[in-house]
Chain A
Amino acid sequence: MNLWKSSIRIVIKVDRMKSSFFLLCLIIALNFSYAQNRTLEVCAKDCEFTSIQQAVDQAKAGDSIFIKKGVYKEHDIFINRKSLHLYGEKGSIIDIDHKGYGIKVEANDFSITDLTIKNVEVSYTSDYAAIYLFKCDNFKLKNITLKKAFFGFLIEKSSKGIIEENDISGIGQSEASSGNAIHLWNSKELEVRDNDVYNMRDGIYIEFGSNNVFENNTSHDNMRYGLHFMFSDDNRYSYNTFQNNSAGVAVMFSKRIQMNNNVFKKNWGTASYGLLLKEISDGEIYHNTFENNTTGITADGSTRINYYENDFINNGYAVKFIGGSYKNKFYKNNFLYNNFDLSYSGRLNNNSFDTNYWSDYTGYDLDNDNYGDVPYRPVKLFSYLVNETPESIILLRSLFVDIINFSEKVTPVFTPKNLTDQQPLMSEVQW
C-alpha cells in the first residue's frame, strides 16, 4: 500500500520537473526569439533613432520598426532585401517634401501599416510614388494614408500581397500631372480591399497582372478611370463603388475578368461611362448597379460576355455597342428609366438580349407566364439615327422625335429587325 503511494508520488514529481523544464525551455526560446526579432523605435527626438532610414539600416530581418508620432522629413527610404515590419501610430507622418519617392522596398515577407505619407514629388518623367515595391512577395500594406500623392502605391513584379484599408488622395489638376493611386504592374495574386482612393488619375491601375482580387474599394472623383485594366487576364473585382469618375471602370485587352456586385454611379459628363469594355472576352458581369451614368456600359470589341442580373437605372444610354462584339448575352437585367436602353451599330453578331425587364415595355402578357407576348425593341429609331448622324442628337426631347419613335415602334423600318427581346419580362428581376 505504502509502496504504491510513494511510487505515485515519484511519478508526479518527475512529471512536475518535466513540465517546469519545458517551461524553462519555452522562456529561453521566447527570450531568444525576442532578442532575435527586436522592435526598433523611431521618434522625432530623444530616441535611439531619429530617422527611419537609420533604423531600417540597423534592423535585421524579422525586426519591427515602430515609428512614433511626429513628422519625419525623409524621402527615398530604401528597404533592401530585409523582412521588416514598419508600423506607426496616429500622427506618424512621413513628409517627402516633393523630393522623389517615399519608401522603396525590394524584399519579401514585410509589412507597412498605420502611417501617413504626404507630398510626393510630381514629375513628368519619373513615376514617383509614396510607396514603391519592386519584386516583393508576401507583403502587407495596411491602414496607410497618402495625401497629395503623385503615384500612391507603385507595385512592380510582386505577388501574394495584401493592400487594405488605405486612404489615398491626390491634388492633380490634369491627367498629365497626376498619377494612379494603386498602380500594379506585372504583379499577381494580390488582394486589394477596402481602400478609398480619390482625386487621382486612375483609382486603381493594373497592367500585365493576373489572379488579383479587388474588393470593397471606393474609387471616386478621379480624373480618368476608377479602375483600369490593361492586358490583365483572370482578375476579379467585386463589391466596389465607382462614383463620379471620368469613367468608372475601363477593362481593356483582357480576358476572363469577373465583375460582380459593383456600383457604378454618377459617372456623368459628355465623354463619361460607367464601364468601358475594349477588346475583352469571356467575362462575367453580374449583380452590378449602373446608376446615373451618361453611358452605363460601352462595349467595343467585347466577345462572349454574359451580363445578367444587373440594374441599369437612370442612365443616358444604358448600354452602347460600338462594334466588333460577338456572342454577348444579356439576360435577366433590369433596364429602368434610361434615356436610351440600347445604342447599337453594326450587325447583330449573335448577341442576344432576351428575357430582360425593360421599363419602357408597353406590351401585354395574356397567358400570365411573366413573359410579354410582344417582342420588345430596345433600339429606338432616334438612337439609331443618332448613331448614324451624331448631330441629330440636338433634336433630343423634340415632339417630332417622339412621333417617329412611336411610328417606328409600330412598324419597324430602320432599326435592326432581329435586335429584339423575344421574351421581355413583365416584372423586375429580383436578385
Chain B
Amino acid sequence: MLKILKYSFFDLIRSRWSYVYFLFYLLLSSVLLFLNNDLSNAIITLLNVVIVLVPLIGTIFGVMYYYDSQEFTELLLAQPIKRKSIFLGQYLGVATSLSLSVLLGLGIPFALYGLFQSNVIFDFLILIVVAVFLSFIFSALAFNIALTNTNKIKGFGYAILVWLFLAVIYDGAFLIALIYFQEYPLDQFTLVATLFNPIDLSRILILLKLDISALLGYTGAIFKDFFGTIAGSLVSLGVLAVWVVLPLWRMLHVAKKKDF
C-alpha cells in the first residue's frame, strides 16, 4: 500500500494541477496578509474561500484522478496486490497531496508574516485542520462516486451535485426548515443539523474562534457552550473523522466486490 501511496503521491506532486492549486493558495493568503495587515480579517476571508473551494477541488480532483489512472489501476489489479491497498494507496495519495498544497499554500505566507508570535495561531491551526479534513472527506466522496459510475460524465455530474448539495442546497433546506418551524425551540435542531454537514461544521468551528462569533448572539452562545467543552470538541472532530471513515469504508467495500 505504501508503495502505491508513494507512487500516486509523487505522481500528483509532479503534476501541474497541484502546483496551480498550491500557488493559488500561496498567492491568496500572501495578498490577504500583506495588503490587509489584519490577521483576523484575513482568516475570515480565507475561511470563506476554504470552505467553498477545498471541497470543490477535492471532489473534482478526486474524480479526475480516478478516471485518469483507471488503466493503471487495472494493470495493478492484475498483479498480486490486495485491492484494499491499491485503492487506499491511491486515495491517500490524492488526499495528502491536496492537503499538502493547502497546508503549504496557507502556511508559508502566515509563517513569513510572523504568525508564530501572534495569538491567533490557534485560529489558524483550526483553519488548517479543517482544510485538511475537508480535503480528506471530499476526495473520499469523489472516489466513491467514481467507483460506482463508470460513465465519466455521470461521475463528474454527481461529484458536482454532491458538492453543490453540501455547500449550498443543504443550507437552503436548513434555512427553510428554520423559518418554517420558527415557533418551536430550534437550538438543538440547529446544533444537530450543523453536525451533519462537514462544510457547515467546519465553518462554525472557525467562526466560533473568531471575534465575529459575537454576532451569533444567543444561538452562538449555545454553540459555544457545546463546542467549547472538551466533549464538544471531541464530538465535532469525531463527526469530521466519521465523514472520512464512512465513505472510505464504503469505497473499500465497493472496490472489493466490483467487477473491473
Contact = CB atoms under 8 A, between A and B. Distances in A.
Interface of A: 268-272, 294, 316-317, 339, 385, 388-401, 403-404
Interface in B204-236: 204, 207, 211-212, 214-221, 223
B190 A270 contact: no
B111 interface: no
Given A396-B207, A397-B207, A398-B203, A391 B214 contact: no
Interface string B162-178: 00000111011011001
B194 interface: yes
Given A270-B220, A270-B221, A389-B182, A395 B214 contact: no
B244 to A, nearest CB: 22
B52 interface: yes
A399 B168 contact: yes
A399 B212 contact: no
Contacts of A398: 171, 200, 203
A255 B172 CA distance: 45
A241 to B, nearest CB: 20
Given A394-B190, A400-B171, A294 B215 contact: yes
A388 B168 contact: no
A387 to B, nearest CB: 11
Contact of B212 (A269, A339, A395, A400): A339
B214 A272 contact: yes
B34 to A, nearest CB: 19
A394 B47 contact: no
7 contacts: A269-B214, A272-B214, A316-B212, A317-B215, A385-B175, A392-B179, A399-B167
Contact of A394 (B44, B204, B212, B214): B204
Contacts of B217: 270-271, 390, 393
B48 A397 contact: yes
B219 A397 contact: no
Contacts of B220: 270, 393-394
Contact of B44 (A391, A393, A397, A401): A397
A390 B214 contact: no
A156 to B, nearest CB: 37
B185 to A, nearest CB: 9
B190 A400 contact: no
Nearest to B193: A394
B11 interface: no
Contact of A270 (B171, B182, B189, B214): B214
A283 B128 CA distance: 49
Binding site of B, secondary structure by majority: helix, strand, loop or mixed? helix
B182 A388 contact: yes
A346 to B, nearest CB: 17
Nearest to B218: A390
Given A393-B220, A397-B47, 14 more contacts: A268-B214, A270-B221, A316-B214, A339-B215, A388-B182, A391-B186, A391-B187, A391-B219, A392-B175, A393-B215, A393-B217, A394-B216, A394-B219, A400-B172
A57 B139 CA distance: 87
Contacts of A388: 179, 182
Contacts of B223: 394
Contacts of A294: 214-215
Contacts of A317: 215
Interface centre among A294, A394, A396 (most CB of B within 10 A): A394
A402 B52 CA distance: 12
Contacts of B179: 385, 388-389, 392
Contacts of A392: 175, 178-179
A391 B223 CA distance: 11
Contacts of A401: 171
B175 A390 contact: no
A415 to B, nearest CB: 15
Given A270-B220, A391-B219, A396 B212 contact: yes
A401 B221 CA distance: 21
A401 B52 CA distance: 13
Enumerate the 5 nearest inter-chain pairs by beta-carbon distance, A residue then B residue, closest first.
A400-B171, A316-B215, A391-B186, A389-B182, A294-B214
Nearest to B221: A270
Nearest to B45: A397
Nearest to A293: B214
A395 B215 contact: no
B160 to A, nearest CB: 14
A269 B221 CA distance: 11
A270 B186 CA distance: 19
Contacts of B187: 391
B57 to A, nearest CB: 15
B178 A389 contact: yes
B171 A395 contact: yes
A389 B220 CA distance: 14
B175 to A, nearest CB: 6
A396 B174 contact: no
Nearest to A340: B215
B117 to A, nearest CB: 22
Contacts of A339: 212, 215
A191 B207 CA distance: 44
Contact of A395 (B44, B169, B174): B174
A341 to B, nearest CB: 14
Nearest to B174: A395
B215 A399 contact: no
Contacts of B48: 397
Contacts of B212: 316, 339, 396-397
A406 to B, nearest CB: 12
